[in-house]
Amino acid sequence: MDAHAKHEGPLPPLWHYGETEHDPISTKTLGFWLYMLSDALIFAGLFAAYGVLDQPMNAAGGPGIAKIVHPVAAFWQTIAVLSSVLAYSLATVALKTGNRNGVLAGIIAAIVLGIIFVGLEFADFASLFAIGATPDTSGMLSAFYILVATHGLHMMFGILWMLVLIPQIFLSGFNTAVVTRLLNLRLFWQFQASVWVCVYVFVYLRGTIQ
Amino acid sequence: MTDPHNPNPDPLLHSEVQQASLAGYISGYTLTVVFLGIGLLITQLHGLQPAPLLVTISGLAIFLLIAQCMLFFGLDVSRYNIWKTVSLILTVPLFILSIGLTVWMFHALGPVMAMPEMPGMPLQPTVLQ
| pLDDT at residue B19, as a whole number | 92
Buried b (16+ CB within 10 A) or exposed e, B70-79: ebbbbbeeee
Instruction: Write phi, then psi, for A97 (nearest 5 degrees).
Output: -105, 10
**pLDDT in single tens digits along all 129 residues of chain B:** 444 445 557 999 999 999 999 999 999 999 999 999 999 999 999 878 889 999 999 999 999 999 999 999 999 998 888 999 999 999 999 999 999 999 999 888 866 665 555 555 555 555 554
Q: Which residue in chain A is spatially nearest to B80 when comparing CA positions?
A: A26
* Partners of residue B50 in chain A, C-beta under 8 Å: 209-210
User: CA-CA distance, A147 to A150, in Å (whole number)?
Assistant: 5
State what percent of residues in chain A have pLDDT above 70. 91
B12, B17, B29 ranked by CB distance to A86: nearest: B29
- Is the confidence at residue A94, as pLDDT, over 70? yes
**Stronger pLDDT, B2 or A199, i.e. the higher one:** A199
Single pTM value for the model: 0.86
> A154 near A110, Cβ under 8 Å?
no
Q: Give the domain ranges of chain A.
A: 25-209
Q: Give the domain ranges of chain B.
A: 21-84
| pLDDT at residue B107, as a whole number | 83
The pLDDT tens digits of the residues spanning A98-154 come to 999 999 999 999 999 999 999 999 999 999 999 999 999 999 999 999 999 999 999
Residues 39-98 of chain B whose Cβ lies under 8 A from any Cβ of chain A: 39-40, 43-44, 50, 53-54, 57-58, 60-61, 64-65, 68-69, 72-73, 80, 83-84, 87-88, 91, 94-95, 98
Give Cα separations from B72 to A30, A90, A180, B59, B129 (angstroms): 16, 11, 17, 19, 42
Q: What's the whole-number mean pLDDT along residues A173-182?
A: 96
- Does A25 contact B2 at a Cβ distance shorter than 8 Å? yes
Q: What is the ipTM of this complex?
A: 0.87
| pLDDT at residue A18, as a whole number | 64
Domain A25-209 CATH class label: mainly alpha
User: CA-CA distance, A161 to B15, in Å (whole number)?
Assistant: 23
- Does A45 contact B98 at a Cβ distance shorter than 8 Å? yes
| Closest residue by Cα to residue B61 from A47, A143, A35, A88 | A47
